[in-house]
Every structure is written in structure tokens, then in C-alpha cells.
Structure 1
Amino acid sequence: MKTKFINGVSSSPSMSLGLLITENALEVQPDTEDECKDIIRPDEPDLDTKRKAYLWCKEFLHGAWKTVTEEDFQISLIRGGLSNKLFLCALPDTQTSVVDEPRNVLLRLYGAILQMSCNKGEPRQSNKENLFQSRKLDTDELSMPSISAEIAEKMAKFHGMRMPFNKEPKWLFGTIDKYLNQVMRLTFTRESHIRKFARLRSCNLPQEMESLKSLLDSTHSPVVFCHNDCQEGNVLLLSGREGSDGQKLMLIDFEYSSYNYRGFDIGNHFCEWMYDYTNDKFPFFHVNSKNYPTKAQQLHFIGRYLSETDQGFQNLSAEDQMKLKEELFVEVNRFALASHFFWGLWSMIQARISTIEFGYMEYAMARFDAYFEQKRSLGV
């Protein structure tokens, strides 16, 4: 179970995606200059909101947004309500574009009224998801060859999108660093939590993180626009909408999306084959390490992924195809370690702050158990 904010995000990745930051429930959406001119009723936001908007745009957008000063940064309120406000952020006319960055973006800031938690085991519907008759996948459906192949295709297309955001892969270890710093300061009062937390702390997590960084630094993985949470609850099976090409799935829930390493997105997806969040009894999830995809299942996924991302892949010899698949196989299984580490830290923090009834500490232990088992299997 991963508790998240409901942001009302478009369920189609082919549409303009927003930049989502879970902690602040932020959506940034690029817009064209002509469209921005048609929007009426601009107004000045308060200074605190302007400051936050400036820092967000400076961090997550690229090109001239990196150097624009706060004084020159332009922002106006497009429309506001009880639940959220929409702002137009723009570069000044005097600021020269550097590359292909958008000069205008729409920023939607959600208020606390929309910060309603949901979890993997419960139906989640955002604004546009309601337009489709669909259901989420079940965990055991991820291993179905046809489902796995289509998820690979969807992920490949997702990775091929060019988004007007900072393309430096800072999200993964930037977030892990932040989480680890928080974990090292955590304290618990419940006896069961104290014992389990002590066991997790005994693993020397700072040293493990440095070891993981070193391993992944030596592992080539292209930086692409990643979903970062491609699990069964974020894949819709559409009803009555199967196209002539047989496509029937839709990726949803983009709040963790960012530029990141390709290996993490695929490795994280493979890890999710092991976790079922529909258990109605404590700890409210099931884990089965035997469900981690076999090499044959992974190569099936990887082959379909490479066929979608590399137009010349099908023209290669069987030997050259297998070489590329084997290289990606090594890459994603190393980055699967980062998935376990990331969600393990996240879950320890949730065990301290969340009011949701879920075995967060047990989930953290399950993820770190899987982390060390994966290390042993890889011999690293």
C-alpha cells in the first residue's frame, strides 16, 4: 500500500502530463503562448505562493527557467476555488530561450481539501479516469504474457515522451537521501515498532546506500521520462475499448513521474509482481518472493520493450537481440535493488506519520528482506 494524494490527473500519458510532486501536490502543465493569451481573469498571488512557484519552476523546468530571477519571474492567478488554484507562470520577454523550454506553464496548486489518501487496495478514480469503464489489474495478472507484453509497450512509449522538465536524474537518490535522513531521526513508542525498527537500523542503511550508489553508478542506464510506480493498481484494464491492435491497457497515476533511470522503472515494476495489497487482514498485504519474474518472463517483457523503443531491433540477428536483452536484464535487476531500498525507507517513515491502517513497518521489513535476497542472487 502506498498512500498518495488524489490529484485528478489525466489518465492518458499521450496528453499533456503534469509535473507531480507528492509532498506538495503540485501539477505543472506546459501550455502554448496562444492558449495562455485566451485565459482571462489573471490576478496576483500572495508572496509566499509566488516564492514557492518560482522555486518549483526553477527546479523542475529547464533552460531559461534555471537562470530567471525571482524578480523577473511572472505569475498570475487564472482561477481559484476551495480545492485548488490555477496559475500562469511565464518567462519575461527579456529572457532569451536557451533550448526548447516552454515560455509559459500552467501550475495547479492543490489545497488540503484534495489531499485525501487512497491505497493500492482500494478503487482510485481521478477526473478523467471516471470517463472509462475499467478496472485495475490484479497482481497475478502482471505475469500473464499478453498483459506483460502490453505493459512493456506502454512503458516504452512512456519512456519515449519528451517532457519540458529538468532532465537530470536527481529524483531517485535525491529522494532516497531525503528519506534516509528522516529515517535516521525517527523514534517509535510502540514496542513492536521499536523492535522491528532496531532490526532495520542494524542493517547499516547509510553504508548500504553508498554501496548501492556505487553499484548503480557503474551500471549504464539511459535517463528517460519514467512512471516510477508501474504496479497493478496503476494499470487500467479497459472494458469494451480494445483497439484493432489489441491494446486494452492504460497507465494512470503519474504523481511520481520524473526523469529517471530506465532500469529503475522496469526493475520497480518487476518487484511489484511480489506484492498484493488486497489483503483485508493485518498487515494488509501479501508478499510472495517466488512471484518475482523468472528470467524467461523478464526477457519476454524486455524483448517487447526493446522492439518498441528501438526500430531496428527486429532487424538484428537473434544473437545480437539476445545480447541487448541480456544487458537490459542485468541493468533492471540491479536497479530493482533501488526499488526495494526506496520503498523500504518510505514505509518506515509512513509507519511513524501515517494514520492509515496498514502494516507499514512490516512492509518495510519485507522490502529490505527482498533487497538483501536480491543482492545475494546477484552476487553483489
Structure 2
Amino acid sequence: MLIECMETLSAVDLRDPEISASIASKLKEFHNLDMPGPKSSLLWDRLRNWLKTAKSVCPSDEAKEFRLDSLEKEIAALESEFSGEDQCIGFCHNDLQYGNIMIDEETKALTIIDYEYSSFNPVAYDIANHFCEMAADYHSEEPHLLDYTKYPDFDERKRFVQTYLISSDGEEPDAEKVKDLLNSIEKYALASHLFWGLWGIISEHVNDIDFDYMDYARQRFAQYWLKKPAILACHADE
């Protein structure tokens, strides 16, 4: 009976202000889970491992197209860029797309599912990844296509972060904390593009699912190279 009243969210649901606020609160709970193992970020090691795998499965023309030989330098630069920040590390889902969030139709309570990519990481990365997923609709006729006009605007991002940072006793977050987390999220969106771009390349060579992984990867890398100059320049001016 309980299963029957649960369903996964849709792409449109992520834009609903009430549902988005519920996701922010639920994600904060998730990040605070006291899971076993080292409480350190796995993001950079995973990126390097996936880059190594991508190089091993890619023919030379694909490796050249995706500039794989330059990505080790890009990963190192991002890690160095973000390492000086006072980062909050939590247990992250790392794949919070709408299909991994279930809602109870009666109570509207949310449940996060599918933890195959979960690990400790900067919480800003997990939120950035969630925002990037708003560009996707995996139930469309062309599920690999991304529409970055659907990336949440500043007001949407700010509302999400303000809800996320509300204290356990309901106290509103400090404006400076909201600003800092918003800035970190935009920077970690770059890491999300690299992460899923590499995932797309690898998946093209190891999966038989009917999904255009290569074009998906192209879109993620295109966003990385498009957004990187402005985002890092903005950070340098802070």
C-alpha cells in the first residue's frame, strides 16, 4: 500500500517551489548522515580514475575531440582553485536527478533513492549537480538532449540555498553564508560537467542501453568550456 502511493518526480517537478524547498531540506538531512568510512572528498580521485578509463576505451579521434589529454590539467586546476576554501564535506548523493527522488502522493514526503554514486564530497558539488540536472528530461523523445535555459536562475538558486541553510531550530541563514554557498555551487558545476562528460564517454563503450551517450558527453563538455572562463574570472575578482 505504501509503495502504491509513491512515485518518482518528473523534470517539471524540480521547478515547483514547494517541491524544490522539500528537496533542499531532504538533501541537507542526507548530507548530515553519519556514514562509515573516511570523511574526505572522493571527487577528484574519481575524476582522475574516470579520465584514465576514458582514455583506455577511446579511439584516438574521440580522445582528440574531447581533449582528453588536457583534462588531467583541468582537473588539477579545479582542485587547486577550490582547495583553499572553507568547504563543508558531507555524504553526497552525486546523482540527484528527478528520477532518483520519490514523493508520497498523500503526505508529499520525499525519499531519495539509488545510491550507486554516493560518497563524501563537498556539499556544494552535490547541489551544483542537482541544479545541472534541471536541464535534463530523460522521458522526452530525445532523452540525451539537455536544455540549459532550464538551469535555475539566481532567484531559484538562492531560494534553494536559503532553505538548505536554515538551522535545525528554524533560524534564517546569514546572508554571507548564502552568498558563499551560491558562489561555490556555481564553481562546482564545472566539476559536474567534467564528471558526467567522462561518464558519457565511458558509458558509450561499455553500455548497450539505447541512449546517445556521446552526444550527452559533448553537451557536458561544451558547457564546461563555455562556463569556465566567466565562473573562474568571477571567483578571481572576489
Matches of 1:331 and 1:322, distance apart in 2:
14
Matches of 1:226 and 1:132, distance apart in 2:
28
How do residues 1-380 of structure 1 correspond to structure 2 at under 5 angstroms?
Answer: 131-169=3-41, 171-188=42-59, 197-201=63-67, 204-240=70-106, 242=107, 247-281=108-142, 284-308=143-167, 311=169, 313-314=171-172, 321-380=174-233
For these two proteins, the number of residue pairs brought into alignment is 233
More helix, by proportion? 2
TM-score of the superposed pair, with normalisation by structure 1: 0.57
Unaligned runs of 5+ in 2: 234-238
- Which amino acid in structure 1 is aligned with residue 52 of structure 2? N
- Which amino acid in structure 2 is aligned with residue 159 of structure 1? H
Give the CA deviation at 1:226: 1.2
From the CA coordinates, give the structure whose radius of gyration is larger. 1
Matches of 1:363 and 1:348, distance apart in 2:
9
Give the CA deviation at 1:311: 4.0
Taking every aligned residue pair, what percent have the same amino acid on both sides?
A: 32
Partner of 1:49: none
Matches of 2:232 and 2:145, distance apart in 1:
27
Structure 1 residues 313, 225: closer, same or farther in 2, change over 3 A? same
Matches of 1:183 and 1:197, distance apart in 2:
8
Matches of 1:259 and 1:185, distance apart in 2:
27
Partner of 1:117: none
More strand, by proportion? 1
Structure 1 residues 135, 312: closer, same or farther in 2, change over 3 A? closer
Structure 1 residues 348, 130: closer, same or farther in 2, change over 3 A? farther
- Which amino acid in structure 1 is aligned with residue 110 of structure 2? L
Give the CA deviation at 1:134: 2.1
Matches of 1:262 and 1:353, distance apart in 2:
29
Structure 1 residues 379, 261: closer, same or farther in 2, change over 3 A? closer
- 1:8-61 Cα offsets, whole Å, 9 max, x none, are xxxxxxxxxxxxxxxxxxxxxxxxxxxxxxxxxxxxxxxxxxxxxxxxxxxxxx
**3-state DSSP class of the match of 2:134?**
helix
- Which amino acid in structure 2 is aligned with residue 375 of structure 1? K
Structure 1 residues 311, 299: closer, same or farther in 2, change over 3 A? same
Give the CA deviation at 1:229: 1.2
**3-state DSSP class of the match of 2:45?**
helix
Taking only aligned residues, the RMSD between alpha carbons, in angstroms, comes to: 2.1
Partner of 2:236: none
Give the CA deviation at 1:133: 2.2
Give the CA deviation at 1:360: 0.7
Matches of 2:112 and 2:6, distance apart in 1:
12
Moved more, 151-160 or 350-359: 350-359
Matches of 1:333 and 1:252, distance apart in 2:
25
Matches of 1:187 and 1:230, distance apart in 2:
27
Higher RCO, Cα 8 Å, sep 6+: 2
Matches of 2:175 and 2:185, distance apart in 1:
15
Matches of 1:304 and 1:155, distance apart in 2:
10
- 1:127-159 Cα offsets, whole Å, 9 max, x none, are xx9834222111122121111100000001111
TM-score of the superposed pair, with normalisation by structure 2: 0.89
**3-state DSSP class of the match of 1:204?**
helix
The list of structure 1 runs, each at least 4 consecutive aligned residues, that deviate by more than 6 angstroms after superposition, is: none
- 1:148-202 Cα offsets, whole Å, 9 max, x none, are 1000000011112212222122x211211111111222334xxxxx755432126
Matches of 2:92 and 2:144, distance apart in 1:
25
Structure 1 residues 200, 152: closer, same or farther in 2, change over 3 A? same
Contact 2:55 2:63 (C-alpha < 8 Å) held by counterparts:
no
